[in-house]
Amino acid sequence: MILYINSCVRSESRTNRLAQAVLEKMGDYTEVYLPAEDIKPLSERRLNKRTELLSAGELENAMFDRAHQFANADKIVISAPFWDGSFPSVLKVYLENIYAVGIVSHYSADGKPIGMCSADELVYVTTAGGKYIPDFSYDYVKALAQDCFGIKNTRLVMAEMLDIDGMDAEKILREAIEAV
């Protein structure tokens, strides 16, 4: 199963357009459209509940549905516009919700995360108004994927400078789509 995690907020999202070009090459996919999902930051109550369930080994609880879906995907595509040097907060909320120890990752005896995800590739798709800086967006997701989830292959697909005066945003985007 190809899992498309879409965190593009705008209905006219250029990031989503670029992601569609990636998905077209991959085939059928299941989409999780984060802005429309009922997905919340972990409150103390939900965190305690999650800890209790994980400690009791109750991994089939509905609270972990998204974590299982992520862990079982064959390929993962994440789309996220470049926001404030990073990505929309809904994506961070998603990541903290799916990061369930015992489902997507577990710890070795010396405290290192060992990935438990099946995906052989994670593609991160983004567009930026100015120059794209990957430090707190792609680089972070790549580190999580490789070091914690066990997804060794990650790839960045990107178009930048879309909001800069004098730039032809449509042309830049079309070229990025053709290059996929």
Ligand X SMILES: Cc1cc2nc3c(=O)[nH]c(=O)nc-3n(C[C@H](O)[C@H](O)[C@H](O)COP(=O)(O)O)c2cc1C
Q: Pick between residue 1 and residue 164 the one whose CB is nearest to ligand X.
A: 164
Q: Pick between residue 16 and residue 105 the one whose CB is nearest to ligand X.
A: 16
In the complex, what is the shortest distance from the CB of residue 11 to ligand X, in angstroms, rounded to a whole number?
Answer: 9
In the complex, what is the shortest distance from the CB of residue 98 to ligand X, in angstroms, rounded to a whole number?
Answer: 22
Q: In whole angstroms, what is the distance from residue 113 CA to residue 167 CA?
A: 43
**CB-based contact 69:104 (threshold 8 Å):** no
Tell me the one-letter amino acid at 89: S
Q: Are strands 121-127 and 75-79 parallel, antiparallel or unpaired?
A: parallel
Q: Pick between residue 57 and residue 166 the one whose CB is nearest to ligand X.
A: 166
Q: Pick between residue 10 and residue 40 the one whose CB is nearest to ligand X.
A: 10
Alpha helical stretches, state H, the chain: 14-26, 44-55, 65-72, 89-98, 138-143, 169-179
Instruction: Kindly state the tokens that stand for 28.
Output: 């059928």
| Residue 155 dihedral angles phi and psi, to the nearest 5° | -145, 140
Q: Pick between residue 10 and residue 155 the one whose CB is nearest to ligand X.
A: 10
Residues that bind ligand X (CB under 6 A): 8, 10, 13-16, 81-85, 127-130, 162-163
**CB-based contact 174:139 (threshold 8 Å):** no
**CB-based contact 94:27 (threshold 8 Å):** no
